[in-house]
Structure 1
Amino acid sequence: MAFKSEELAKAYWRDNISLVLKLLAVWFIVSYGFGILLVDVLNQFTFFGFKLGFWFAQQGSIITFVILIFVYVKRMAALDNKYEVHEE
């Protein structure tokens, strides 16, 4: 990647790290928060016949992770275009 200036490179990486931290926070909340900490509260509700806390622990965190991958790809493509470091 060739940046036009050092300031653009720093801004790019600052935005990149910010995005990664936000996505990791979402994943942490869904997998650890919903699947472990709030499991008893969520188990009062059902989802497709399963207790909601159990569902988040078994399927919800995995599905969320896959969705976050697609969000990351889309947002990074937009970030690359914004800073003009995209591939031809």
Structure 2
Amino acid sequence: MSEKQKKATAYWKENVRYLIILLSIWFAVSYGAGILFKETLDQIQIGGFKLGFWFAQQGSIYVFVILIFVYVRLMNKLDKKYGYNE
């Protein structure tokens, strides 16, 4: 295996690791906060809405958008680390 292939393999392994971590966070927020822990979170209110309802309707979307920006930042660092930046 050439040095270029090793570098590309390491790059994609790190990329997939980032994806798994970020998607796990999103799953935990959307499924956990919106479904599993809904009753517990409904005891707290934000703007007149129960927190469990808020996470199910809005919170997971906000977290997903934030995770997109985190992913972009991580990928920019990863690109620089492996020399793939433009």
TM-score above 0.5: yes
- Alignment TM-score, normalising by the size of structure 1: 0.91
Pairing 1:12-27 to 2, within 5 Å after superposition: 12-27=11-26
Q: Which runs of 5+ in 1 are unaligned?
A: none
Match of residue 40 from structure 2: 41
The C-alpha deviation readout for 1:15-63, integer Å capped at 9, x for no partner, is 0000000000000001011001110110011112210000000110010
Q: Percent identity?
A: 56
Aligned to 1:53: 52
Structure 2 segments unaligned to the other structure (5+ residues): none
Question: 10-19 vs 44-53, which deviates more?
Answer: 44-53
- Distance (whole Å) between structure 1 residues aligned to residue 61 and residue 49 of structure 2: 16
CA RMSD after TM alignment = 1.3
The ranges of structure 1 where at least 4 consecutive aligned residues each deviate by more than 2 angstroms after the TM superposition are none
Q: How many residues align?
A: 85
Give the structure-2-normalised TM-score: 0.93
State the partner residue of 2:29.
30
Once structures 1 and 2 are overlaid, which stretch shifts more, 27-36 or 4-13? 4-13
Secondary structure of 1:5 counterpart: helix
Relative contact order: is structure 1 or structure 2 higher (C-alpha 8 Å, sep ≥ 6)?
A: 1
Q: Within 2, Cα distance between the matches of 1:19 and 1:86?
A: 18
